[in-house]
Copies of this chain bind each other. A is one copy, B any other.
Amino acid sequence: MPQNLPPKPVIVDTSKSEYTRLCPVPLTDVSLKDSFWLPRLRDLREVTLPSQYQQLEETGRIDNFRRAAGGLDQPFEGWFFNDSDVYKWVEAVAWTLATRDDPDLKGMLNEVVSAIEAAQDENGYLNTYFTFEQVEERWTNLKDMHELYCAGHLTQAAIAHYRSTGEDRLLAVATKFADHICGIFGPEDRGKRSGTGGHPEIEMALVELARTTGERKYLDQAAFFLDMRGRGHLGGEAYNQDHLPFRDLIRMEGHAVRAVYLNAGATDLYAEAGEKALWETLERLWVNTTARQMYISGGVGSRYEGESFGEDYELPNKDAYAETCAAIANVMWNWRMLLLTGEARFADVLETAMYNAVMVGLGLGGKSYFYRNPLAGEGDHQRQAWYQCACCPPNIARMLASLPGYFYSLSEEGIWAHLYAEGSAALELLDGRKVELHQRSGYPWDGVIEVEVQGEGEWGLFMRVPAWSEAEWSLAINGESISKVEKEKGYLRIQRSWNRGDEVRLELPMSVSMMESHPKVSENAGRVALMRGPLLYCLEGVDHPGVDLDEILLPSDTIFTTAFHPELLNGVVTIQAQGTTRPKGRVWDDQLYRPVASLSKDQTVEMTAVPYYAWGNRDAGQMQVWIQRGDRIY
């Protein structure tokens, strides 16, 4: 059924997409050897995925498949969308096994895949909730019941499984279900049903299935589901992205994961068909997201109510929703936008979201999670081992498992380096030449990136200069400083005839930046956040005993020092500074307003900031990203 060549484990296969600039690199071509990601990938394999398997078993999520196959006489367990958690776990295991064999994981995977296979109906339908007494309810409530959503996750899992293992048994299941769906939904003048899914996801999945199988009908089906939005099939609600036709959207609204998955699917569709109106909408929505609605962490979906985007500049800190899944969706969307364009602004958002908004969702050690991700707290927001609605844990697992696939891309001009970390890549240029790149770097803790090139001939090496390094980067080749180099949309284009062993040295400034917010973000007015490289920092109560973090003021001329602490939070660079606080005796008690204190009475306080992704892994206490700006005591 699939193409003739053996499949390669690429995340999003734009190699044949007409309207993309970049082609993917199989994640097996990239080998990470760094101190940041490599231990996380090991924990993923050794801790996260086995413990998630156990959760899936204990909560009946896998039993639901066994039951659907007729093998268990017990009620359906849990949420009606629980199949999707299993599919996301399958996807995570598949990507993981692509880079390193693991017999235990492989055994679990085969067990689950067999259960999925056995649960499929003769006609291709597959959803364990809509079995037995619920069969008649199939497709009766596309708005709420997530059948198309689960089908999308099945498809993504199947593609990952196929690309990673070369086996097509799960892909056959997904294809059969997709065919069933294509037979039911479509233009009414062809005797099919109108409609679209309340929770977008299947759009991305069907485009990728078209790419995998070469069958155009899945692309058409994805386009159909996109085009059906905004026509009242889902009650006309913004929550479900049904308030407007997609091409008429002017801002991000409604449930954040849904909205951003939809954008990712629309981006995939643009990659194949190049429709101008689609691109204009995506560009408009991207600007709205990043310039009006995104946390500095890269998280999106600020509003608790409806797990949704809010008004422009509505970015509460303590009450942030910022679901981990929405941050993952943001990575997925920006990856697709990057593939289309080769513009670093998309890689910037991807990197910010990945290091901060996504990684904060996974506890150190790999078996605790955050679902919501506030940017301030009083100690009442705690990591959990699992959630009843467990969308985030397996989602972060599949994102992390696929991470090596996000480091490089290819184009006819050469190789694109998006992300940096110690490691190597054995790449095949689009013309078939082989190149090895060896990155030596302490990134994200250190800004020096040395790339040893093993390959000959002329081609371009596109190295991303992150937005935060602005004009302060420096480049050298074979020890010689290069002052003139073409910079194209955030990438340095190093075009030359390479010799084996050529050394490219990019140095990015790893200084501490005090960041301020647009003044319309009311919660951040008069506050600053600390960033160093791609990492967002925060204060935690545990590092400031006896100090109310709300009372720490950071003068504008603060001098920061940094230090790497290998024993702290699995190894982090901390930021130290002298802040000030109001005089100790001057408590607020039952005051709501008071005259500003005389500065000379303020006191200094030693402040330590830790990476935001690592918060909530020690004693519960206050946390704060946005610190009050204060005055220096002279």
Contact = CB atoms under 8 A, between A and B. Distances in A.
A595 interface: yes
A287 B590 contact: yes
Contacts of A317: 522
A518 B599 contact: no
Interface in A292-323: 292, 294, 296, 316-318
A593 B518 contact: yes
14 contacts: A291-B589, A291-B590, A296-B593, A317-B522, A318-B522, A514-B596, A518-B592, A521-B592, A524-B525, A525-B525, A525-B626, A526-B527, A555-B631, A631-B631
Given A556-B599, A594-B516, A595-B514, A523 B525 contact: yes
A234 B39 CA distance: 59
A629 interface: yes
A522 B590 contact: no
A557 interface: yes
A557 B296 CA distance: 31
A160 to B, nearest CB: 33
A514 B631 CA distance: 14
A162 to B, nearest CB: 39
Nearest to A549: B519
Interface in A273-305: 287, 290-292, 294, 296
A478 interface: no
A592 B556 contact: no
Interface in A618-634: 626, 628-629, 631
Contacts of A514: 595-596
Contacts of A331: none
Nearest to A597: B516
A589 B519 CA distance: 12
Given A522-B317, A523-B522, A527-B526, A515 B291 contact: no
A550 interface: yes
A526 B519 CA distance: 11
A528 interface: yes
Contact of A592 (B292, B550, B596, B626): B292
Given A515-B596, A519-B628, 14 more contacts: A291-B590, A294-B592, A316-B522, A514-B595, A518-B591, A519-B588, A523-B523, A525-B525, A525-B527, A526-B527, A526-B629, A529-B593, A555-B631, A556-B596
A133 to B, nearest CB: 37
A520 interface: yes
A516 B594 CA distance: 6
A495 interface: no
Contacts of A520: 550
Contact of A515 (B551, B594, B628): B594
A517 B593 contact: yes
Interface in A379-413: none
A54 interface: no
Nearest to A590: B291
A555 B527 CA distance: 14
A316 B311 CA distance: 14
Nearest to A468: B595
A74 interface: no
Nearest to A294: B592
A516 B591 CA distance: 10
A513 interface: yes
A557 B598 CA distance: 9
A287, A525, A556: most-surrounded residue (chain B CB, <10 A) = A525
Nearest to A312: B592
A596 B521 CA distance: 15
Nearest to A548: B519
Nearest to A311: B319
Contact of A593 (B316, B516, B628): B516
A312 to B, nearest CB: 10
Contacts of A629: 526, 596, 629, 631
Contacts of A626: 525
Nearest to A318: B522
Nearest to A519: B550
A596 B595 CA distance: 26
A595 B526 CA distance: 13
A309 to B, nearest CB: 14
Contacts of A318: 522
Nearest to A516: B596
A577 to B, nearest CB: 14
Contact of A628 (B292, B294, B526): B526
Nearest to A376: B522
Nearest to A589: B291
Interface string A316-336: 111000000000000000000
Contacts of A296: 592-593
Contacts of A518: 588, 591-593
- 8 closest A-B pairs by beta carbon, nearest first, are A526-B526, A519-B550, A291-B590, A514-B596, A522-B523, A513-B595, A516-B596, A296-B593
